[in-house]
């Protein structure tokens, strides 16, 4: 009897896990653990240690650390207004952060603090033109959606989305310095090739990529 009860409870648990991973429209979502928003080293120490790193060891970033990093990068820090950890011009919030890892390509949904699967393929190599890119456990891609930026001329959209992505990138730099992770922001990206693989629309522009991993030194 106890054995049947155990089997039943295990089946219920597996079913619940599947529900949290697969939505009704079959989109796979990965709920991230609550970010640890009171963690981290003192700001001045972190600024002292901030730097670019281009050599990584083969060690995965734990899900909790990824969760903390994405929240630090571009999470919602004021739920009452829906505002974020980085500023954005006119509060357009036009940047989406994509996460390329061995698990596939995901889009960070900051409002639900979860990852939405876009592709199950490992596209890390396509996110840059330097050899270390395919070795880095995570490559972030900052994509601006120009359709959220009103009727501004193209040059304004280019300028503001580049500035807005820069703030997010710096949040990642500071988080990494605090956490003992290495990172480098990258403009050298074959944008046409990557955009095609990511199936981006003509209004979505790849601004920058950023590799993250545990440093070799």
| Contact between residue 196 and residue 38 where contact means Cβ atoms under 8 Å apart | no
The least distance separating ligand FMN from the CB of residue 9, rounded to whole angstroms, comes to 51
Q: Shortest CA distance to 94 belongs to which of 217, 11, 203?
A: 203
The least distance separating ligand FMN from the CB of residue 90, rounded to whole angstroms, comes to 22
The least distance separating ligand FMN from the CB of residue 6, rounded to whole angstroms, comes to 53
Q: Taking contact as CB under 6 A, which single stretch among the options 4-12, 21-29, 60-68, 186-194 is the one that binds ligand FMN?
A: 186-194
Q: Are strands 104-109 and 83-84 parallel, antiparallel or unpaired?
A: unpaired
Q: Taking contact as CB under 6 A, which single stretch among the options 15-23, 85-93, 180-188, 196-204 is the one that binds ligand FMN?
A: 180-188
Position 186 contacts ligand FMN (CB under 6 A): yes
Q: Which two tokens stand for residue 175?
A: 């988080």
Q: 47 to 86, contacts with ligand FMN by CB under 6 A?
A: 51-52, 54
Phi-psi category of residue 168: left, alpha or beta, with phi > 0 → left and psi -120 to 50 → alpha: alpha
The answer for residues whose C-beta is within 8 angstroms of residue 77's C-beta and 6 or more apart is 37, 71, 83, 84, 85
The answer for residues whose C-beta is within 8 angstroms of residue 99's C-beta and 6 or more apart is 66, 70, 105, 106, 107, 108, 115, 138, 139, 140, 141
The least distance separating ligand FMN from the CB of residue 173, rounded to whole angstroms, comes to 7
> Degrees (nearest 5) of the Cα angle 210, 98, 189?
45
By rule CB under 6 A, what string of x and - marks binding of each residue 106-135 to ligand FMN? ------------------------x-----
By rule CB under 6 A, what string of x and - marks binding of each residue 7-46 to ligand FMN? ----------------------------------------
Position 184 contacts ligand FMN (CB under 6 A): yes
Alpha helices in 50-200 (DSSP H): 63-74, 154-179, 191-198
Q: Taking contact as CB under 6 A, which single stretch among the options 15-23, 91-99, 110-118, 185-193 is the one that binds ligand FMN?
A: 185-193
Tell me which residues touch ligand FMN (CB under 6 A).
51-52, 54, 130, 184-188
């Amino acid at each position: 009897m106890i054995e049947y009860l155990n089997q039943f409870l295990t089946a219920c648990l597996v079913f619940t896990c599947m529900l949290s991973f697969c939505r009704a429209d079959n989109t796979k979502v990965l709920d991230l653990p609550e970010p640890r928003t009171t963690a981290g080293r003192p700001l001045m120490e972190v600024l002292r240690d901030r730097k670019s790193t281009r050599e990584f060891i083969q060690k995965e970033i734990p899900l909790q650390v990824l969760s903390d990093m994405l929240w630090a990068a571009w999470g919602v820090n004021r739920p009452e207004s829906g505002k974020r950890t980085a500023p954005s011009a006119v509060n357009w919030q036009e940047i989406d952060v994509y996460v390329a890892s061995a698990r596939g390509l995901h889009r960070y949904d900051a409002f639900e603090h979860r990852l939405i699967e876009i592709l199950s393929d490992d596209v890390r190599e396509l996110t840059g033109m330097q050899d270390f890119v395919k070795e880095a456990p995570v490559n972030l891609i900052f994509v601006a959606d120009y359709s959220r930026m009103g009727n501004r001329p193209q040059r304004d959209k280019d300028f503001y989305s580049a500035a807005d992505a820069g703030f997010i990138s710096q949040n990642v730099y500071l988080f990494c310095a605090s956490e003992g992770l290495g990172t480098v922001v990258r403009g050298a990206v074959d944008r046409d090739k990557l955009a095609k693989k990511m199936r981006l629309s003509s209004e979505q522009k790849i601004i920058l990529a950023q590799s993250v991993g545990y440093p070799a030194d």
